[in-house]
């Protein structure tokens, strides 16, 4: 099911990946929260680098919660090493403030499991920039999501897209969601370009984390997805004006509508093809929004 559009509540806009002066960001945690709040975000997670040189921070943003704006405690976890020998980049939102430092021999899959067991929502960060392989992704069984758009990686290295890993994991049967994030550090214009819209009844840390784990959200660079509903053997979509509305699935399978100012589409599921489907809405500027997967056996 497309849980984000069938769950009760409303959509809340947030960023799960960004940094402050508690690690290598240019702004204090309070300034980061204020910038996102003033930009119309409903929540943010500051994911400072969980490294010994920064004293393994789970940055305390609770003082910056206020009516209409909340925060999730989080960090970007960096155990060694991926299959290519580099450190892992694993974003965890909803960590306890006393989350223990990375163990000397702790692996990426192990710390991801420890974070998930501690209550966090766990995502593999900027996989293209990190050069994660499909084997790396499959090894992290506790990951709830893949970061399929990272704005900082895009503007600084042209490696901000992680869809290759998401699709590979979906093809392998792994039921993972997808997030878009800024990875803001505030040294340049690296904010407000990738976010998630989470469907929950309340804008509270507990409600948001529960919705994230349930997959009740979509990711966006700008377009809005207003509704997705299954009608028999088709998907009906309502969205902000788009130049293309695409339903993607296993291997090369897809259905699409292409035009100017599209706001509705009805796309056949072709359920005999099996597997999964996910929706992409692209606007006239090339910005995208992505639904989480619909599994046809569910």
pLDDT at residue 257 greater than cutoff 90: yes
For the whole model, what pTM was predicted?
0.97
In this prediction, residues 107-128 reach a mean pLDDT of 98
In this prediction, residues 279-298 reach a mean pLDDT of 94
In this prediction, residues 252-256 reach a mean pLDDT of 94
- Do 18 and 127 belong to one domain? yes
- Do 112 and 192 belong to one domain? yes
pLDDT at residue 3 greater than cutoff 90: no
Query: What does the alpha-carbon distance between residue 70 and residue 182 come to, in Å, rounded to a whole number?
Result: 18
Question: For residue 251, what pLDDT is reported?
Answer: 87
Range of the domain at 273: 225-295
pLDDT at residue 297 greater than cutoff 90: no
- Do 28 and 162 belong to one domain? yes
Question: For residue 7, what pLDDT is reported?
Answer: 86
Indicate the average pLDDT of the chain. Answer: 96
Task: State the pairing for strand pair 49-50/70-77.
Answer: parallel
Non-local (6+) Cβ contacts of 227 within 8 A are 5, 236, 237, 238
CATH number of the CATH domain containing 135? 3.20.20.140
- Do 132 and 242 belong to one domain? no
Question: For residue 270, what pLDDT is reported?
Answer: 87
Considering 168, 191, 219, which residue would you say is the last residue of a domain? 219
Question: For residue 298, what pLDDT is reported?
Answer: 63
- Do 27 and 122 belong to one domain? yes
Kindly indicate the confidence band of residue 272, based on its pLDDT and cuts at 50, 70 and 90.
confident
CA quadruple 65, 210, 136, 277: dihedral positive or negative? negative
> Which segments of the chain does DSSP mark as H helices, in order?
29-38, 108-117, 127-130, 134-139, 151-157, 163-171, 205-214
Read off the pLDDT of residues 178-194 as tens digits, 9 standing for 90 and up: 999 999 999 999 999 99
Considering 219, 237, 272, which residue would you say is the last residue of a domain? 219
Read off the pLDDT of residues 211-220 as tens digits, 9 standing for 90 and up: 999 999 999 9
Q: Work out the number of other CB atoms within 10 angstroms of the CB of residue 36.
A: 26
pLDDT at residue 98 greater than cutoff 60: yes
CB 69 within 8 A of CB 38: no
In this prediction, residues 219-229 reach a mean pLDDT of 97
Query: What does the alpha-carbon distance between residue 172 and residue 101 come to, in Å, rounded to a whole number?
Result: 32
The answer, yes or no, to whether the previous bond of 122 is cis (omega within 30 of 0) is no
In this prediction, residues 91-101 reach a mean pLDDT of 98
In this prediction, residues 115-142 reach a mean pLDDT of 98
CATH number of the CATH domain containing 283? 2.60.40.10
- Do 84 and 194 belong to one domain? yes
pLDDT at residue 59 greater than cutoff 60: yes
Query: What does the alpha-carbon distance between residue 57 and residue 20 come to, in Å, rounded to a whole number?
Result: 11
- Do 83 and 130 belong to one domain? yes
Which token pair is 71?
A: 């925060």
DSSP string, 77-102: E--B--TTSSBP-EEEES--TTPPPP
pLDDT at residue 14 greater than cutoff 70: yes
- Do 121 and 232 belong to one domain? no
Read off the pLDDT of residues 149-180 as tens digits, 9 standing for 90 and up: 999 999 999 999 999 999 999 999 999 999 99
In this prediction, residues 47-72 reach a mean pLDDT of 98
């Amino acid at each position: 099911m497309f849980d984000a559009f069938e769950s009760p509540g409303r959509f809340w806009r947030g960023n799960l990946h960004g940094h402050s002066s508690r690690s290598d960001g240019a702004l204090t945690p309070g300034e980061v929260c204020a910038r996102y709040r003033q930009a119309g975000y409903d929540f943010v997670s500051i994911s400072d680098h969980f490294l010994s040189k920064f004293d393994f921070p789970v940055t305390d943003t609770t003082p910056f919660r206020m009516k209409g704006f909340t925060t999730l405690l989080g960090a970007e976890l960096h155990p060694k090493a991926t299959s290519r020998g580099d450190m892992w980049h694993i974003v965890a939102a909803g960590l306890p403030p006393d989350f223990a430092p990375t163990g000397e021999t702790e692996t990426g899959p192990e710390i991801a499991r420890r974070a998930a067991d501690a209550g966090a929502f766990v995502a593999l960060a900027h996989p293209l920039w990190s050069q994660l392989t499909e084997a790396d992704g499959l090894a992290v069984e506790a990951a709830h999501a893949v970061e399929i758009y990272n704005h900082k990686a895009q503007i600084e290295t042209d490696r901000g897209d992680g869809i290759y890993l998401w699709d590979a994991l979906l093809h392998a049967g792994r039921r993972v969601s997808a997030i878009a994030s800024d990875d803001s550090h505030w040294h340049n214009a690296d904010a407000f370009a990738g976010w998630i819209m989470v469907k929950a009844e309340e804008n509270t840390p507990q409600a948001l984390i529960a919705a994230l784990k349930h997959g009740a959200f979509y990711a966006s660079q700008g377009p809005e997805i207003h509704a997705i509903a299954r009608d028999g053997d088709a998907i009906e979509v309502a969205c902000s004006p788009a130049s293309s509305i695409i339903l993607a699935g296993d291997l090369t399978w897809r259905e699409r509508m292409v035009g100017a100012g599209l706001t509705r589409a009805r796309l056949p599921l072709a359920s005999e093809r099996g597997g999964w489907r996910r929706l992409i809405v692209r606007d006239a500027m090339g910005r995208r929004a992505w639904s989480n997967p619909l599994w046809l056996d569910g």
